[in-house]
Amino acid sequence: MGEAEKPRGGKDDDLAGSTCYELLGIEHDATDKDIQGAYRKMSKTCHPDKCPDDPEAAMKFDRLTRAKDLLLNPIKRSEIDHERKAREELQHRFAQEDGKRRKMREDLEGREDAAARDEGLNAARMAPRECVEAAKKRRVQADFAERIKARTAEKTQQQAGVVAMAEATLHSRAEVEVGYVRVSWRDDSKVTEKAIREVLLKFDLKSLQMKESSATAMLASKEDALRAVLDCRQRKHTLCFRVTLDTSNRGSDDGQTSTEQNTGAAPAPDKPKKKAATAKPLKPGVAFGDWEKDMLGDLMNLAKAQKRKKPAPATGDAAS
């Protein structure tokens, strides 16, 4: 639509330009009387009452009435004439410049076609280069992914080695840090291996080496050994044996004491046993505390007896 053909806005937009003159069939210089006569003549051909069979009769009659009213209005008619003249001048200018505009259009289209061809050639030239760059990029990415994968596998292997080393260390430490306790009793006490096992079993007893009047028990840890000693001390009035910590590196396999094993000294010769009258025999079930008390009392009595047997100091007369 040309600049003169733009609608004015409102309900009469469909009557722009020379449409009003064309509907009424009159020239641009027609008078008001000519407009009225033309309206009466044309209304007979589109009036709804005159044309009941035409479904568009009402619309045609309405446009005709509005065209007549616009032309009878001096202001509206002046606007319509101005638009008409502007459109005619524009069409005349387009007609004069048609050859020049055609040449410009052809030149513009030619440049557009050339640009399109150049773009296609450039794209064709860039395609191999882009393919090479894309392939190179893919190779770099694949190499980087392989490096990451190898690095991850190496880290995983190192972690597995560290875990295995830690487990081995813990296992060896657990073996080294086992605890030993020494169980001792009187020669005349009837202590069985079963009785010792029943007491030490709850402290994770691993092994038990029985001897003539003592035994060495290996527990799972030093903590278990300490707990076993404390528990047996609390129950000393009901047990017929005594449990102490064995501070040697391992259990006494040959009957030596912990001091003898650490120093490497030969075992001391057996001392002659004292007469049974010096100490009361310990009966099964008697607590160790009472036996130690009796032994201490006997030693004190023995010391007093030896003191009484010493000769009296010499007097002055005897010396002269």
- Each residue's pLDDT tens digit, 114-128: 888 877 777 766 667
- 95 versus 117: the higher-pLDDT residue is 117
What is the model's pLDDT at position 313?
A: 56
- 280 versus 141: the higher-pLDDT residue is 141
Q: pLDDT digit string (tens) for 17-71?
A: 668 888 888 888 889 999 999 999 988 888 888 888 888 889 989 999 998 998 8
Residue 6 banded pLDDT, cuts 50, 70, 90: very low
d(CA 229, CA 242): 9
Structure token digits, residue 86? 């502007």
Question: How large is the average pLDDT for residues 77-95?
Answer: 83
What is the model's pLDDT at position 132?
A: 77
What is the model's pLDDT at position 5?
A: 39
Local structure of residue 14 (DSSP, 8 states) = G
Query: Checking DSSP bridges between strand 214-219 and strand 242-245, what pairing results, if any?
Result: unpaired
For the chain, how many residues are written? Answer: 320
Structure token digits, residue 90? 């524009």
Longest dimension (CA), the chain: 196
Cα-based distances in Å from 14 to 32, 71, 152, 198: 22, 14, 78, 117
d(CA 67, CA 27): 13
Question: How large is the average pLDDT for residues 2-24?
Answer: 63
Q: pLDDT digit string (tens) for 189-212?
A: 788 888 899 888 888 888 988 888
- 12 versus 279: the higher-pLDDT residue is 12
Indicate the pTM of the whole model. Answer: 0.30
Residue 8 clears pLDDT 50, i.e. is over it: no
Question: How large is the average pLDDT for residues 150-162?
Answer: 88
Local structure of residue 276 (DSSP, 8 states) = G
Beta bridge partners of 245: 181
Q: What is the 3-state secondary structure (H, E, C) of 175-216?
A: HHCCEEEEEECCCCCCCCHHHHHHHHHHHCEEEEEECCCEEE
- 203 versus 97: the higher-pLDDT residue is 203
